[in-house]
Amino acid sequence: MMSLDYKHTVAERLMRYVQVDTQSDPYSSTQPSTEKQKNLGKLLVAELKAIGIADAELDEHGYVYATIPANKDTVVPVLCFCAHMDTSPDCSGADVRPIFHQNYDGSDIVLPDDNTVIISTQNHPYLKEKIGDDLITASGLTLLGADDKAGIAVIMDAAQYLMQHAEVKHGKIRILFTPDEEIGRGVDAVDMKKLGADFGYTLDGGEQGHLEGESFSADGVSITIHGISTHPGYAKRKLVNAAKIAGAFLNALPKEQWSPETTSDKEGFVHPVHIEGGVEKTRIDFIIRDHTTSKLALYEAKLENILKETIAAYPGARYEFVVKEQYRNMREILDRCPEVMEYAEEAYWRAGLQARRISIRGGTDGSRLSFIGLPCPNIFTGEMGIHSKQEYVSVQDMEKASEVCVHLAMIVAE
Ligand SMILES: [Zn+2]
């Protein structure tokens, strides 16, 4: 363990950033999906400039780019640190009132603005490891937004450290803050040429020590069932009800597997997330997930077979089945450049941690960045209970993550 002479700023930063509402909106077609995300972008650009990062900019698509200049002559790879500015549409992010809990004592945390919202050690066993830490929560009416403003606070804290410590030698480091990660559009308008980095790390993970180099591979499937609509009073042997076919089809899906609620670890799932329609036409949207990309096609073939068999009992009905690729397991890329994970493991080690390689049951900006030229695993920030009013984060976890970033900068330049 190599200790750094650090005066951390993560807690103040997080508490400041979460008060800016940056909720993204999956139903918006604009870029970014909500204009208010730029409010945080502007604040971050001003803060980056204040710590001496002259080229910090917010572009029209809502991305923040900035450079920590190299302070070493030899040519070393360009490293990128990335975090997302938006918060989940699943829970309100307006008027967040962050609460600082000093020296957490291990008891359940009752949130003051709605005392039915309780962050309990039973539902959040990681809390038991955080006794003595300082925690930050919301107040009971909103999410906290540590996902991923903890990541932003960590990167800002590390950037400030590097700008203030010329004796710490590193190459060029690019900072990227993205909008709309929570709605799967975080890298839609990123300019990879402008970013100009060789590999990167997202700061968007949970427990201290976790290192995520593997994500789901993901497709979306949209199924449209077409029935035949007639006046119901004169419908005998004519009407074919698409809504009923949809019901029969969903009922025919496997019940003990294939569902998020019945799977864990390395098991994939086939998950209907939305249904709408009526007699004439009903649409069902699925998300398909597995860590092994080739399994997606098998799930999709089986799903279509079940649909075909169901629909065969309804003469006159027909269907459309459209598969759309969403993202792929970043491991396919990271296996080709193992040093990217190894640098991170070394940085954890120097920060006094043993890295635990974890696979994410989801995706990150890094899943897609990895496939467009920026191999990009995910580092912990301590954000927990995300997308909910029970969200919390340990200040000491964020501080550790910041130290990991500084060590990474040094390791890459060695
Ligand atoms: Zn996130």
Summarised one tens digit per residue, pLDDT across range 113-151 is 999 999 999 999 999 999 999 999 999 999 999 999 999
State the pLDDT at residue 2: 61
CB 168, CB 162: distance < 8 Å: yes
How far apart are the CA of 23 and the centre of ligand 1, in A? 12
How far apart are the CA of 350 and the centre of ligand 1, in A? 25
How far apart are the CA of 152 and the centre of ligand 1, in A? 11
% residues pLDDT > 70 (the chain):
99
How far apart are the CA of 358 and the centre of ligand 1, in A? 16
How far apart are the CA of 149 and the centre of ligand 1, in A? 9
How far apart are the CA of 364 and the centre of ligand 1, in A? 7
Give Rg (Cα) of the chain. 24
How far apart are the CA of 103 and the centre of ligand 1, in A? 26
pLDDT at 3 over 80: no
How far apart are the CA of 329 and the centre of ligand 1, in A? 16
Q: Enumerate the active-site residues.
A: 86, 181
How far apart are the CA of 173 and the centre of ligand 1, in A? 21
How far apart are the CA of 250 and the centre of ligand 1, in A? 30
Q: pLDDT tens-digit profile of 249-288? A: 999 999 888 999 999 999 999 999 999 999 999 999 999 9
pLDDT at 12 over 70: yes
pLDDT at 1 over 60: no
State the pLDDT at residue 17: 98
Q: pLDDT tens-digit profile of 289-345? A: 999 999 999 999 999 999 999 999 999 999 999 999 999 999 999 999 999 999 999
State the pLDDT at residue 4: 77
State the pLDDT at residue 32: 97
How far apart are the CA of 234 and the centre of ligand 1, in A? 53
Conformational region of residue 274, where left means phi above 0, alpha means psi within -120 to 50, and beta covers everything else:
beta
How far apart are the CA of 236 and the centre of ligand 1, in A? 52
Average model confidence (pLDDT) across the chain: 96
How far apart are the CA of 84 and the centre of ligand 1, in A? 7
State the pLDDT at residue 256: 85
Sheet with 269-277, side-by-side order of all strands: 269-277, 281-290, 217-226, 318-327
pLDDT at 222 over 60: yes
CA-CA distance, 257 to 254, in Å (whole number)? 6
Residues with CB under 5 A from ligand 1 (ion): 147-148, 204
pTM of the model: 0.91
- Split at pLDDT 50, 70, 90, the class of 73 is confident
